A and B are shown apart, each in its own frame.
Chain A
Amino acid sequence: MSHLIIAPVVLPVLAAVLVLLAGRRQTLTRAISVVSTSGLAAVALALLIAADTGEYQVYTLGQWAAPFGIVLVLDRLSALMLLLTAVVGVCSLLYAVQGCDQQGKNFHALFQFQLMGLNGAFLTGDLFNLFVFFEVFLIASYGLLAHGGGEARLRAGIHYVVINLAGSALFLIAVSLLYGVLGTLNMADLALKVAAADIEDAALIRSAALLLLVVFALKAALFPLYFWLPDAYSSASAPVAALFSIMTKAGVYSILRVYTLVFGAEAGAAQWVAAPWLLPAALATLALGMLGALASRRLKGLIAYLTVASVGTLMAAVGLFSVDGIGAALYYMAHSTLIIAVLFLLSDLIARQRGDHRDHLERAAPVAQPVLLGVLFFAGAIGVAGLPPLSGFIGKVMVLQSATATGAVYWVWGVVLAGGLLSIISLSQAGSLLFWNTDVKAEKPPLAAPASAAAIMPVAALLAGIAALSALAQPMKRFAGDAAVQLLHPAGYIRSVLG
C-alpha cells in the first residue's frame, strides 16, 4: 500500500499550519504556499500515472478494514480531478502572489484548506467523509470569497453561505437516511447493500438518492439551483474565482461517482435514479447560462454565466450515462475548468487597465496593452465558445457524437449548438467593446500600468495547458474513455475496497 495517496490531503494541511505559524512574514508564507501547491501538482501527476495502469489503489486510514474504517480510493477519475485541482491551484496562486493575496488576512491558509477539502472529496470512498470534506472546502471558500472585502462580496457571501448551509442540511438528511436503511456509509458497501435491499425500502432509498442529487446539483450549479453562482463568482477576486472553477466540478464529480457506483446499473429499485432528471436539467442550465451571458453587463458576470453554461454542457453528456457520454464529459470537464480559470484571471488583467470602468462592459479608454490582452482574450474566447482549433471544439464534438445514437439527439444538438452561437455573440460583443470600440479621446486612467510578465505567466501557462489538451487529444480521449469504462463497471472498485 503506497502512502502517496494520502499526500494530497496531508500536504495542504501541513502547509496551512506552517503558513499560520509564519504569521505576517509575507515572503515566507508565499514560499510555503507555492512550494506546497507545486508539490501537490507533482504528487497528482505521479498518482495519475499510477492510476492509468487501470488498478484501483485503496488506502485504509488507520488500517481499519473497509467497510468499518474510512478508505481513500484512487481511480482514473479521482486522479484526473486531483491533477486539475493542482494545475488550477498553482496558476491561481502564482497570480495571487502578484499582490491579490495581501488584500486581506490568511489568504494562503484558506487557499491550502480549500485544496485539502477538494482533494479529500475527490479521493474518499465514504459518503459521510465526503460530507466532511465538502464542509472543509466550503468553509475555506466562504473565507476566500470574502477575501479583499467590499460590499458586493459581503452581499454575495451571505447568499452563498446560507444556500450552502441549507444544502449541507439536506446532505446530512440523505446520508443518515441511507445509513438508517442500509446500515453502512462506505460507498462500495452501499452499492452492494442497495443492490440487495428489500423492496419495502425502495422508496426510502430512492428518496435519499434524489435528495443527494439535489445537494450535488446545488454544488455543481445545475438548473434550478445555479442562482447563487453568478453573483458569488463575479464578486470574488480573480485568483479565487479561478480556483472556484474547480469547485463546481466537485459537485459534478460527486454525481459521477455516486450515481454510477451506488445507484448505477446494479442498484435494483434505485437503478439509474438520476438519469431522468440530469439531462433536462443540464440542457436548461446550458440555455439559461448562455442567455445570462448574453445579458451580462460586466465581463466577470459574463464569465460566471459561461461557467454555468459549461456545467450544463458537461452534465448533458453525463446525463446520457454511456461510456461515450461520460468520456466526452471528462474531456470537456478538463477543458472547461482550465478555460474558465484563464478567463477569470484575464478579466482581472483587463480590469486593472481600465481605471474606474473596471470590467464593466461600456465604452472606455483603450487598455495599456491592447495587442497582448486582445490576443489572450481572443484565445480564451474561442476556447470557451468551442471553436476550432482549441480543445473546446474537440470536447463539444465528442459531446455531440456521444448523443447521436440516443433518443435525446435533437435536444442535445439543438441546445449545445444554439448555446455555442449565443456564447460567440456575447463574447464578440464584449471583446469588441473592450478592445476595438474604445474611446481614444478619453483621458488615460492614471493607474494603467502594463501587466508584468509574472502576472501574464499564469494565464499563459493555463492557455498552454489548453493547447496541450488540444494537441494530445488522442491520448486524453483514450484516458477519458478508460475512466468512463471504470465508472460504468464498478465491480472492480467494489472488489478492491471490500477485498
Chain B
Amino acid sequence: MELLVASAIGVLVACGVYLLLRGRTFPVVLGLTLLSYGVNVFIFVMGRLQSGAPPIIKPGAAGYADPLPQALVLTAIVIGFGMTAFVLALAVKARFALGNDHVDGVERSGPERVP
C-alpha cells in the first residue's frame, strides 16, 4: 500500500514538473494541476495510511486516524482550485491579447518551430 501511494505521488509530481517546463500555457496549467494533486496526496499520507479508523473520538475505537492532515489537504485543495481557475483565466486572456499561447508571449521562430 505504502509503495503504491508513494510511487503514485512520484509519478504525479514527475509528470507535473515535466509539463510545467513546457512552452505553452495549457500544458503548464495541466502540470501545475498534476503537481498540486501529487502534493495533496502527499499531505494526506503524512497522517499515515490506515483504513477503518475513526478521525474523531468514538467509544470503543481501537485506534484513530489523524484528522489534521485531512483538514490541511482540504485547505490546500480549495486554494489550489482557486489558483488553477485564476491561472486558466489569465492564460486565456493572454492568448487573445498576445495572439499566441506561448508562456513568453512570443512565438518562437526558426527551424525548431513545430508546424
Asked if A154 meets B94 with Cβ closer than 8 Å, knowing A162-B28, A162-B32, A165-B32, the reply is yes
Bound CA–CA A295/B93 (angstroms):
31
| Interface 0/1 of A43-62, CB less than 8 Å to B | 00000000000000000000
Of the candidates B25, B32, B36, B82, which one forms a contact with A139 in the assembled complex, judged by CB atoms under 8 Å apart? B82
| Interface 0/1 of B42-80, CB less than 8 Å to A | 110111100000000000000000001100100110010
Interface residues of chain B, those whose CB is within 8 Å of chain A, are 20, 25, 28, 32, 35-36, 38-39, 42-43, 45-48, 68-69, 72, 75-76, 79, 82-83, 86-87, 90-91, 93-94, 97-98, 103-105
Are B104 and A155 in touch, CB under 8 angstroms? yes
Asked if A177 meets B46 with Cβ closer than 8 Å, knowing A154-B90, A155-B98, A162-B28, the reply is yes
Of the candidates B47, B76, B79, B97, which one forms a contact with A154 in the assembled complex, judged by CB atoms under 8 Å apart? B97
Q: How far is the CB of A210 from chain B (nearest CB, A)?
A: 17
Of A18-26, A167-175, A317-325, the stretch lying at the interface with chain B is A167-175
Interface residues of chain A, those whose CB is within 8 Å of chain B, are 128, 132, 135, 139, 142, 146, 151, 154-155, 157-159, 161-162, 165-166, 168-169, 172-173, 175-177, 179-180, 185
Of the candidates B76, B87, B94, B105, which one forms a contact with A172 in the assembled complex, judged by CB atoms under 8 Å apart? B76
Q: Which of A169, A179, A180 has the most CB of B within 10 A?
A: A169
Of the candidates A158, A165, A172, which one forms a contact with B91 in the assembled complex, judged by CB atoms under 8 Å apart? A158
Are A154 and B93 in touch, CB under 8 angstroms? yes
Are B93 and A161 in touch, CB under 8 angstroms? no
Are A176 and B72 in touch, CB under 8 angstroms? yes
Which residues from chain B contact A132 at a C-beta distance below 8 Å? 75, 79
Of the candidates A135, A166, A176, which one forms a contact with B20 in the assembled complex, judged by CB atoms under 8 Å apart? A166
Bound CA–CA A151/B96 (angstroms):
10
Known: A139-B83, A179-B69, A180-B69. 4 other contacts (CB 8 A): A154-B97, A161-B87, A176-B43, A180-B45
Which residues from chain B contact A165 at a C-beta distance below 8 Å? 32, 36, 83, 87
Are B90 and A161 in touch, CB under 8 angstroms? yes
Beta-carbon nearest neighbor of B103 in chain A: A158
